[in-house]
Amino acid sequence: MNQRIKQVLLVCVCLFTLHMQVMADSLSDSESALDAERALDAGDYVKAAKLLRPLAEQGLAQAQLSLGVMYAQGNGVPQDYKEAVKWHRLAAEQGLADAQFNLGAIYAKEDGVLQDYKEAAKWYRLAAEQGLDEAQDNLGNMYSKGNGVPQDYKEAMKWHRLAAEQGLADAQFNLGAMYYLGQGIGQDYHIAVRWWKQAAEQGLAKAQFNLGLMYASGNGVPQDYKEAMKWYRLAAEQGHAKAQLNLGVMYGNGQSVPKDYALAYMWAYIAAENETYGEIKKLSTEILALVAKQMDSNQIAEMQELARRCTANKFKGC
C-alpha cells in the first residue's frame, strides 16, 4: 500500500478564549471585588454580574473587562455583543492588555461589530506591545495573511518569535511553519522541527502531526518511522484526522510495526468518520477500499465496531 502523507502548512489561529481578569489582584481592599471573585469562582454568574456592574460603572478596568466577557458569553446576563464591546472598549482604553486582546478578537471575529481587521490589528498591537503572548501571535498571523496590515513575513516572524519565546505553543507552531515554508527567512527544516517539537511536547496536536510528518519523510531529522508513529499516535488520540489517517497508513505499510491491515482499516475508518468532507475524507475512503481487499467481511465489521468504541473512549487504548 502506497503511503500518503500530506503536508500541513501554516495554520492561522486568530482567536482564543476571551480573557477574564482576576479581580482581587488589584482590588484586594474592595470587599465588593472579593465578593465578585468568589461568585465567579463558584459559578454564580448572576450574583457576580450584579457585583461587577457598579465597580465597572466606577471605571474599574478589571471589572469592565470581566463584565464584558460575561456579556460576550451570556454568563449571568443575556448574551449581548454590543454590551460586550462597550465594556471591553472602556477597559481597553485604560490600557488593560487582556481587554485590548479581547477587543481585537471581537473585531476579527465580527461579534457585535462589523468585521474590521484594521481595528483588530490595532488592539492586538497594543496588547502585544505590553507583552501579551497571544496578542503577539495573533498580530503575527495578521501580518502573515495581510489582514488589517500590509503582508509582511518578517514582521510576522518577529511577533511569532516573541510569543514563541514565552512558551506559547500556537506561536511555536506558527514560527516552525514559517521556517518550513521559508517565509520571512531562509527555509530551514531543522529549525522548523525544533519549534514544532516544543509545541508538540506541550500537547499541541497539529504540531505533533507535523513532527510525525517530518520523521516519516526525513525532513529536518533522520528518517525514523518509530518516532513518526509516536507523534502521529499522540495527535491521533486527540482526534486529529490527518494523524489518524497516517497512523493507519503506517500500519498498512508495516512501518516501525508489523504490517496489520486490521489496524490500518480501523484508523482509516476513524479518520473518515472524523472528516465529513474534503481531501482527508476522500483519501480515507480510498485507503479503506484498498485495505478492505485484504480482509474478509467479519474482520471489516469487527474493525468498524472497534473504531466506534475507540472514538467513544476518546481514542485511549486503541
pLDDT of residue 28: 40
DSSP letter for each residue of 153-175: HHHHHHHHHHHHTTT-HHHHHHH
pLDDT of residue 108: 93
pLDDT of residue 149: 98
pLDDT of residue 114: 86
pLDDT of residue 20: 56
pTM reported for the whole predicted model? 0.88
pLDDT of residue 315: 87
DSSP state of 113: S
Give per-residue pLDDT as tens, 191-229: 999 999 999 999 999 999 999 999 999 999 999 999 999
Q: Which residues of the chain have pLDDT under 70?
A: 1-29
Cell representation of residue 28 = 484586594
pLDDT of residue 18: 66
What is the C-alpha to C-alpha distance for residues 48 and 191, in angstroms, rounded to an integer?
Answer: 47
Give per-residue pLDDT as tens, 72-123: 999 999 999 999 999 999 999 999 999 999 999 999 987 778 899 999 999 9
C-alpha distances out from residue 213 to 82, 254, 259, 272, Å:
44, 16, 19, 19
- Report the helix count and the strand count for the chain, using DSSP H and E: 16, 0
pLDDT of residue 27: 44
pLDDT of residue 30: 73
